[in-house]
Amino acid sequence: MAYVRSVVRAAPSTEPGRPKEPHVPDLPAQPDLTVVVLAAGGGTRMRSKTMKVLHPVAGRSMVAHVLSAVAAVRPTRVVAVVGHQREEVSAHISALVPDVVLAVQETQEGTAHAVRVAMDAVGPTSGTVLVTYADTPLLEGDNLRAFAEDHVASGRAMSILSGELDDPTGYGRVVRGTDGAVAAIVEEKDATPEQRALREINSGIVAFDAAFLADALPRIGNDNAKGEYYLTDTVALAREDGHRVDTFRLDDVTQTIGANDRGQLAALGRVLNDRILGRWMAAGVTVMDPATTWIEADVVLARDVTLLPGVQLLGACAVGEDAVIGPDCTLEDTEVGVGARVVRTHGQLAVIGAGASVGPWSYLRPGARLEEGAKAGAFVEVKNSTIGAGAKVPHLSYVGDADIGEGTNIGAGAIFANYDGVQKNRSVIGRLVKAGVHNSFVAPVHVGDGAVTGAGTVVRRDVPPGALAVSGGPQRHVEGWVFRKREGTPAADAARAAGAPAGPDADEGGESSQSSHPA
C-alpha cells in the first residue's frame, strides 16, 4: 500500500509542489488486512463549503491524519467510502494513497450500508476488515496497529475498539453478558438507567473476520427510527452465530473522538497541538509558553531549539539545533539553520541559514534565502532573493528579486525596484559592497565586488568593481530663508539665537551650494 505525504506543500529544500514521502514504520504488513475509511458524511453542522473530513487540523486534513494512522497498520488495501463532494474528497484521498479503492455511497443509509458499499467495491476477500472513520484526527497509528494485531491473534469474529470515560454522556455503551463478552452496543437514547451508568463506550472503530462480515452484512435490517442500516447490529448477529465479541480497550479513548462542528474542531486542534508540543519537549525542545505556541504535524525540530511565546510553525518547517524563534513569529514551510535567531517575523517558503539573524518585524516571502550569518533586520521585506553569507540588510528595506553577495552591507531604506510594469527584473550586488542609505536599485543592475554607493543614490546602470556610484545634483543652501518665510516662528527664533545670518534679499537669489557627494 503506497502512501505519500499528507500535505502537498514541499519544504524549501525540495522540488516545489512535489509531495514528500512520509515515514512509514518499518514493520511487517498485516496478513490480508482491508481497512475501510468512512468519509461519505456531509458534515452539515460545519456550515462550510468545504467537506468536513477536508477541514485542516495541525496542518493536515482530518482524513489525512486518519490515513497516517492507517499507514502504521500496513494494510493490504485501503477502501475509502465517499459520498458528499465526492470529487474533492476522492482527489484528496487519492493524492495521499495513490492505490486506494474508492467506493461511492450514493445515498447515506447508515454505517452498515457504507461498509457494504466498500466490500462490494473490493469484491470477495479474506482475512480481516477494519472499519474506521475519516473525522478522528487524534487517532494514533500505534494504537490502531495494536488493535488489529489483537483482533487477529484472538481469532474473534468481531472486535470493538473501546475505552472508559468518566462522563460517557452521548456515547454508545458497551453492554457485557454474564460471560464477560460483549452482548450489545446500546445508544444512549435507547439505554436503560443501568446501562447509562456504564462507562465503557464504543468508539465506532471495529474489526471483523472478513468471512463473518460478508455473511452478516446482507442480514442487517433497517427496522429502526431512522430507517438506516447500523453496523453495531453485527454484535447480535455474531452472538446468534455462536461467535464471541470482545473489545480492545484504549487507555485514552478520547483519541477516537470526531468533530462535527467548528467548536469540536477547535477543541481537537488544541488537544492535537498539546500532544505535538509534548512530544517535542520530550525530545529536547524548549517551549516557553505552550499555551501560545502552535506546531503543525509535519514540522521537524532538532534538540535544543527554543520557541518563545507566540510562535506558529506551519507546514513543513525544519529547525536546526540551538535556533531560537520568537517571540511572535509565524513561519510556514521554512527552514531555520543551526543557531539562527528569528524575532517577530512572518516567513513563508524561506530558508534561514545557520547563525543568521532575522527581525524584528521582518517579512520573508517565498524564495527568500539567508546564507550563513546573514542578517535581515527590522522592517525588512525579502522576496525571491538571496542574502549572502555574512551580508546584512539591517533596516527598513525591500529586497525583491536580488542576489546580494557575501559580506555586503545594504544601508537603511534601500529599495530594489524590481518591477517595470510588465515583468520582474533581477539585480545582483557583489561581494563586500557598501551601499549607502536610501539607495534605489532599478533592476536589472549589477554592482561589482567592493563597490560603494553614496547616500541617496539611484542606481540605474551597472557599477564596476571597486567604483563609487553617486547620483543627484549638489546640495543647495538658501541663507536666511527661515527669516523671510517663517519669521515669528520658534524655528526663526532658534536660528537667530544660533547666529544665523539674515541672508541677502529675496531678489538677490540667496543661494549657495555644497557638494553632497562623498569624498
Residues annotated catalytic, as ranges: 395
Phi/psi for 392 (5° steps) reads -135, 135
Phi and psi at residue 234, to the nearest 5°: -65, -20
Helix axes 86-96, 62-73, angle to 10 degrees: 40
Residue 370: CB atoms within 10 A of its CB come to 32
Query: 45-64 as b/e, with b when 16 or more CB fall inside 10 Å?
Result: ebeeeebbbbbbbbbbbbbb
Number of other CB atoms surrounding residue 408 within 10 Å: 24
Q: List Cβ<8 Å contacts ≥24 apart for 93-96.
A: 93/37, 93/39, 93/63, 93/67, 95/4, 95/8, 95/19, 96/3, 96/4, 96/5, 96/6, 96/63, 96/64, 96/67
Residue 203, C-alpha cell as written in the block: 468508539
Cα of first residue to Cα of last residue in the chain, in angstroms, is 71
Q: How far is CA 451 from CA 428, 478, 519, in A?
A: 12, 33, 14
Residues 212, 239 contacting (CB under 8 angstroms): no
